[in-house]
Amino acid sequence: MSDTIDRRRSIGDRAAPDGVYPLPAWNVSAIRRDFPILAQRLHGRPLIWLDNAATTQKPRAVIERLVRFYEQENANVHRSGHTLGTRATGAYEQARATAAAFINAPGVDSVVFVRGTTEATNLVAQSWGRQQVGEGDEIVVSCLEHTSNLVPWQRLAHEKRATLKIAPVDGRGQIELDDYRRLLGPRTRIAALAHVSNAIGTILPLGEMIALAHRHGARVFVDGAQAAAHLPIDVRNLDADFYAFSGHKVFGPTGIGILYITPELLASAPPWQWGGSMVNQVTFEHTTPRDGSARFEAGTGNIAGAVGLAAALEYVIAAGPEARQHEADLTRHAVAALKRINGVRLIGDPAERIGVFSFVIDGLSAESAGRVLDQQGLAVRAGNHCAQPALNRFGHDDSIRMSLAFYNTRDEIDALASAVQRIAANGARVQ
């Protein structure tokens, strides 16, 4: 960690110095005190935040880092030699180094700052994709994709007269690997795959899926939006060509995310947007872009967001494997609790999963159930979760989604299960 980052950082009820190490035991009550928003009450009841797949809440370490940036360092980056410009540039580039270390990238220049996973997907589709995909070529996606990792490839396929192929899932929501293998061939240019399903929590077997695509010379883009807060990420071990995630889903600010691009592809992919400091030389006749990640960072980026993201990633690193073990315990508890409720059907039941659950209540719309749960302080998602094809695979247009983070508790899951049980028995009349 650099001098631009707080010298002491709160992790639960302890303060740890730079080079934070994981706590020996997980104290969820102490961890929750790091997240001010969780202390509030809604509709006269304690807030129970179970919509973490949509966005996660922010620890004080992130909030205070954003405040300090604006109070002490605010300036544009890579443009000025004055003191604040030097501070801001240092903080920004240290944030890039933190993100590179978080995903075990081979170097800091492989990390591009973007607004989030959606922008990263569009960047790759419009830059590398438009250059490499042609008529008759093939793009493979899975049935489980968020629309942000489906629609850009769908549009590219339409534009280039390429074929979009869909890897199916079984009744539990797990990738049918044999079917995926058969979809790949000499015309496959890219496979675009979620690391984790945002609708039902399935962890895809990425290592095998990436290796199979590479055997056919295809590249692989990984949507890591739902993985970054819950799983260790190693892009070199995965051998991913592109990997993206959003800051707001990993306890960081909104409007910031990262795109990892292998050094080989970074050198060959053309810029997507032009202007600002991504330009190397400009004349009225010709313009050349800068090398490396800078060629994809046109204009002034979300500098404070990048610095806040670094603080969030450091917080996750400090939380360590104990956080993942706590989430695994919560996940098992939630599956058992939902399966016990009469009139409730859990969508998908993958063997390898994180704590994201979609379910339906017989005879009641997801929207109606969501309104009743909100009145009881339970924040869940009701709708299609930007994953209509995934829900349609299981015969549903929408669902209720509960999603967990390491600050959630068994008591919160039990509170949701009790409320859902009452709704299933009595309908939307329950208050």
| Digit-coded pLDDT (tens) for 122-136 | 999 999 999 999 999
The closest of 414, 416, 411 to 401, measured between CA atoms, is 416
* pLDDT one-digit tens code per residue, 149-180: 999 999 999 999 999 999 999 999 999 999 99
* Average pLDDT value for residue range 96-109: 97
Q: List, as own/partner pairs, every contact residues 3-10 make where C-beta atoms lie below 8 angstroms and the sequence separation is at least 24, other chains included.
A: 4/73, 4/87, 4/90, 4/91, 4/94, 4/307, 5/65, 5/94, 5/310, 5/311, 5/314, 6/61, 6/64, 6/65, 6/68, 6/311, 9/61, 9/314, 9/315, 9/318, 10/34, 10/59, 10/60, 10/61
Written as one letter, the residue type at 171 is G
Determine the Cα–Cα distance for residues 183 and 181; give it in Å rounded to an integer.
5
217: left (phi over 0), alpha (psi -120 to 50) or beta: left
* Whether the predicted pLDDT of 6 surpasses 60: no
Confidence class for position 288, pLDDT limits 50, 70, 90: confident
* Whether the predicted pLDDT of 16 surpasses 60: no
Look up residue 131 and give its DSSP letter: H
Q: Which residues pair with 271 in a beta bridge?
A: none
Share of the chain above pLDDT 70, in %: 93
* Whether the predicted pLDDT of 19 surpasses 50: no
pLDDT of res. 23: 42
Neighbouring residues of 150: CB distance < 8 A, sequence distance ≥ 6: 141, 192, 389
Determine the Cα–Cα distance for residues 60 and 34; give it in Å rounded to an integer.
6
For CA atoms 177, 178, 183, 186, the dihedral sign is positive
Q: List, as own/partner pairs, every contact residues 46-50 make where C-beta atoms lie below 8 angstroms and the sequence separation is at least 24, other chains included.
A: 46/377, 47/377, 47/379, 48/377, 48/378, 48/379, 48/412, 48/415, 48/416, 49/379, 49/405, 49/407, 49/408, 50/378, 50/379, 50/380, 50/402, 50/403, 50/404, 50/408, 50/412, 50/416
**Which tokens hold the place of 184?**
């790949």
* Whether the predicted pLDDT of 25 surpasses 70: no
* pLDDT one-digit tens code per residue, 354-406: 999 999 999 999 999 999 999 999 999 999 999 999 999 999 999 999 999 99
Of 194, 313, 386, 416, catalytic = 386
Element holding 173 (H helix, E strand): none
**Which tokens hold the place of 271?**
């810029």
* pLDDT one-digit tens code per residue, 256-276: 999 999 999 998 899 998 988
Does the 71-311 domain belong in CATH 3.40.50.2000?
no
Q: Is 386 a catalytic residue?
A: yes
